[in-house]
Amino acid sequence: MLRWAEKRKPWRGLMADGNPADLVDVNKLLDHDYQEQRDRLLSPDEIRELRDIFAHLEYDYDALPAGQKCSGIRPVNPRVQCAMWICL
């Protein structure tokens, strides 16, 4: 995101002092055994479990009385759900 901003006006002027991300040493953030790529896939049971979690959150939220919806746990946004299914 910051590299994108360095190349585009008006954001470039705001980053005149440089990209703050360049000051971060990635080696200090990651464990010594960190692996860049993983080969793990979700099993069919895990995918079904995720579907059930999304459905359960929606059902529970819809079942809340009108005065308690503001303090209740909201379901995952449908756009986010779609993005997750596309990624999977």
Range of the domain at 64: 2-26+42-87
Per-residue model confidence (pLDDT) at position 12: 78
Establish if 37 belongs to a structural domain.
no
Residue with tokens 């896939």: 41
Is 15 part of a structural domain of the chain? yes
Whole-number average pLDDT of the chain = 87
Is the pTM above the cut of 0.75? no
Where would I find the H helices in the chain? Answer: 2-6, 11-14, 26-29, 44-63, 78-87
Q: Is 68's pLDDT higher than 80? A: yes
Q: Has residue 35 been placed in a domain? A: no
- The total number of structural domains in the chain stands at 1
Tell me whether residue 58 is in a domain.
yes
The pLDDT score that the predictor gives to residue 76 is: 95
Say if 76 falls within a structural domain. yes
